[in-house]
């Protein structure tokens, strides 16, 4: 099978400069040859250029920031991811901020309507137009994909392709009040850091899969926000939250998902190489590459 790398230098879903450089650093760290060494064919036709997406006038809609930019970029990336998936390739989307998940999930779910989504993150990214406090759209992609909350014309292209029973979270520890309510109201399965502590990561991954993929017969889309990891492990990211996953816990999730043989799409999001000293940036990029390798078949033995 071929991996199609979708490099998305995009930062419009959040305010910090630098996350658009994440994909460049991940590729420059040698990710492509690392994947080829694992036996994959890798197709990469250069990072996407979003400058052409004119947004001369993009005032907030309500408090949503850069709404037209985020919408247009995600709509174009959704086509790309969808095309790769339809071609039988495995789209590997390198972010870029997590608003891009509107694109990746749209692309995957349009090809694999029964796919389940494993969302590894400190945050739920499920704020609606009504519940967001920041207006940063990287905190909202899941609500758009579920089709919940007040509709925004600009995002009318986003189809509610994700069903709550096909979504599960691992690593949550920083939710807004509105998000806690939304998770409960929609009966969405979530394994926070409390459950990771209580049961251990092995049991948590098993329970997460049991929740959304009980017969292990559904395709899996893994959306991994590096801020799920403890900041000591992945420091160079825009919204770090202490008390996160260890290096091994993060890798175990990826290894276990690879073992299912069901992975059809992978996102590695929120690496921001501008936010730390060069050693911390190098460390964060290296962890990103390592997680991707683990999700795509690298084993310890």
Binding-site member from 66, 111, 136, 143 for ligand 2BH (CB under 6 A): 136
Choose among Mn ion, ligand 2BH, none what residue 55 binds, the Cβ cut-off being 5 to 8 Å by kind.
none
Which region among 17-25, 130-138, 163-171, 286-294 touches ligand 2BH (by CB under 6 A)?
130-138
The CB-of-263 to ligand 2BH minimum distance in angstroms stands at: 21
Binding-site member from 20, 179, 195, 227 for Mn ion (CB under 5 A): 227
Nearer to ligand 2BH, 11 or 111 (CB): 11
- Taking the CA atoms of the chain, what radius of gyration do you get in angstroms? 17
Binding-site member from 11, 89, 93, 127 for ligand 2BH (CB under 6 A): 127
User: How many amino acids of this chain bind Mn ion (CB under 5 A)?
Assistant: 12
Close Cβ partners of 240 (under 8 Å, ≥ 6 residues apart): 122, 227, 231, 234
Q: Quick check: 140 and 174 in contact, CB under 8 A? A: no
Q: Quick check: 258 and 200 in contact, CB under 8 A? A: no
- Using CB under 6 A as the binding rule, whether residue 166 contacts ligand 2BH is answered as no
Please list every residue from 13 through 42 that binds Mn ion, using CB under 5 A.
14
Nearer to ligand 2BH, 213 or 239 (CB): 239
How many CA atoms are closer than 13 Å to the CA of 158, on its beta-carbon side? Answer: 30
> Pick from 43, 220, 67: which is nearest to 144 by CA?
67
Residues catalogued as catalytic:
98, 121, 123, 125, 138, 225, 227, 270
Distance CA 108, CA 248 (A): 27
> Pick from 102, 193, 83: which is nearest to 143 by CA?
102
Please list every residue from 109 through 128 that binds Mn ion, using CB under 5 A.
121-123, 125
Binding string, 263-292, against ligand 2BH, x = CB under 6 A? -------x----------------------
Distance CA 232, CA 64 (A): 31
Phi-psi region of 200 (alpha: psi -120 to 50; beta: other; left: phi over 0): left
Choose among ligand 2BH, Mn ion, none what residue 127 binds, the Cβ cut-off being 5 to 8 Å by kind.
ligand 2BH
Nearer to ligand 2BH, 138 or 173 (CB): 138
Which region among 28-36, 74-82, 106-114, 120-128 touches ligand 2BH (by CB under 6 A)?
120-128
Side-by-side strand order, sheet with 167-172: 41-43, 2-7, 90-94, 263-269, 220-225, 116-120, 167-172, 189-192
How many degrees, rounded to 5, is the angle at CA 113 between CA 117 and CA 151? 80
Distance CA 276, CA 67 (A): 28
Binding-site member from 10, 104, 128, 227 for ligand 2BH (CB under 6 A): 227
Binding-site member from 75, 176, 199, 207 for ligand 2BH (CB under 6 A): 176
How many residues belong to the chain? Answer: 301
Binding site for ligand 2BH (CB under 6 A): 98, 121, 123, 125, 127, 132, 134, 136, 138-139, 176, 225, 227, 239, 270
């Amino acid at each position: 099978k071929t991996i199609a790398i979708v490099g998305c230098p995009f930062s419009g879903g959040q305010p910090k400069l630098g996350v658009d450089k994440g994909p460049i650093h991940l590729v420059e760290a040698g990710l492509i040859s690392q994947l080829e060494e694992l036996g994959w064919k890798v197709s990469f036709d250069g990072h996407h250029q979003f400058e052409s997406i004119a947004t001369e006038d993009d005032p907030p809609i309500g408090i949503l920031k850069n709404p037209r930019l985020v919408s247009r970029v995600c709509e174009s990336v959704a086509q790309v991811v969808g095309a790769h998936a339809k071609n039988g390739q495995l789209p590997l989307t390198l972010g870029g901020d997590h608003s891009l998940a509107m694109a990746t999930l749209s692309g995957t779910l349009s090809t694999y309507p029964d796919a389940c989504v494993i969302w590894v993150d400190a945050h739920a990214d499920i704020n609606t137009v009504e519940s967001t406090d920041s207006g940063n759209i990287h905190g909202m992609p899941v609500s758009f994909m579920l089709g919940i909350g007040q509709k925004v014309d600009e995002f009318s292209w986003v189809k509610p392709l994700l069903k709550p029973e096909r979504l599960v979270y691992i690593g949550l520890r920083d939710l807004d009040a509105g998000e806690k309510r939304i998770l409960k109201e929609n009966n969405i399965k979530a394994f926070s850091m409390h459950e990771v502590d209580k049961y251990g990561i092995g049991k948590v991954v098993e329970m997460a899969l049991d929740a959304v993929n009980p017969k292990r017969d559904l395709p899996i889309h893994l959306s991994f926000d590096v801020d799920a990891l403890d900041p000591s492990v992945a420091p160079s990211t825009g919204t770090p939250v202490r008390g996160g996953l260890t290096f091994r816990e993060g890798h175990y999730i990826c290894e276990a998902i690879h073992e299912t043989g069901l992975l059809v799409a992978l996102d590695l999001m929120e690496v921001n190489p501008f936010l730390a000293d060069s050693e911390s940036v190098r460390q964060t990029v290296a962890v990103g590459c390592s997680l991707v390798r683990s999700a795509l078949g690298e084993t310890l033995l």
